[in-house]
Amino acid sequence: MKVVAFNGSNRKDSNTAILVRHVFAELEKEGIETQLTQLAGKEIRGCLACYKCYVNADKRCVQEKDPLNEYVRDMAGADGMILASPVYVASISPVLKALIDRATMVGKANGGLFRHKVGAAVVAVRRGGQVNALDTINHFFLLSEMIVPGSSYWNFAFGLEKGDVDRDAEGVQTMKVLGQNMAWLLKKLNS
C-alpha cells in the first residue's frame, strides 16, 4: 500500500513537512510506503474552466506546462493521500488550491479517479484560520468520494518559524494518531 503527500508550503522542509513526516512515521511502522512531494518553487496554474477534461476524458488536464498531470497520476495510483498546507490568510496556500481545483475536475471527468481512497488533511498554523483550511481540503476528499479518518483532535499544529510545530506536543500527538488511524483504515479497506 502507498500513501502520497503533497506539501503546499512555499517553505520546503518547514512546519508543514515536519507534520507530514510525523504521520508518515506511523504509516511506515505498518509497512505502508510513503512519498512526499513538496510544492515549494513549483508553479501550478489554476483551472481554466474549459471543461476539456470532460471532453477528452483521458485522465489529464489540457494544461501540460506544469506538473499537475504527474501529480494526478500519483494520486490516482495511491491507496491514500495527505494534502498538507500552511494557513495563508485563513485558508490554504494558492498552489495547493490550484492542485485541488484541477485534480477535482480531472477526477470527476474520468468517473471518479479518487473514489474510496483514504484522504487526510494536515495544517500548520501560527494562530488562526486552521479550521477553514482543514475544511477546504476535506471538501475535496468528500466531493471525490474518498474516506477520511479522524484523529484525537483536528489535524493541525501551531508554529510560526521552521521547527516550531515540534514544540506543540498535542499537535504532534494528533499527527501520530492520525497516522495510526490512517494505517488502520487502509488495512481494513485492503483486507
Ligand X SMILES: Cc1cc2nc3c(=O)[nH]c(=O)nc-3n(C[C@H](O)[C@H](O)[C@H](O)COP(=O)(O)O)c2cc1C
Interacting residues with ligand X (CB under 6 A): 9, 11, 14-16, 86-90, 124-129, 159-160, 162
Residue 7: other Cβ atoms inside 10 A: 31
Yes or no: say if 55 and 161 are a contact pair by the CB < 8 Å rule: no
Q: From start to end of 53-184, where are the E strands?
A: 80-86, 118-125, 156-158
The distance from CA 69 to its chain's CA centroid, rounded to whole angstroms, is: 16
Q: How far is the CB of 143 from ligand X (least distance, A)?
A: 24
37 or 104: CB nearest ligand X: 37
Q: How far is the CB of 96 from ligand X (least distance, A)?
A: 11
87 or 113: CB nearest ligand X: 87
89 or 169: CB nearest ligand X: 89
How far apart CA 6 and CA 119 sit, in angstroms, is 12
Q: How far is the CB of 8 from ligand X (least distance, A)?
A: 8
17 or 106: CB nearest ligand X: 17
How far apart CA 59 and CA 50 sit, in angstroms, is 15
Q: How far is the CB of 43 from ligand X (least distance, A)?
A: 17
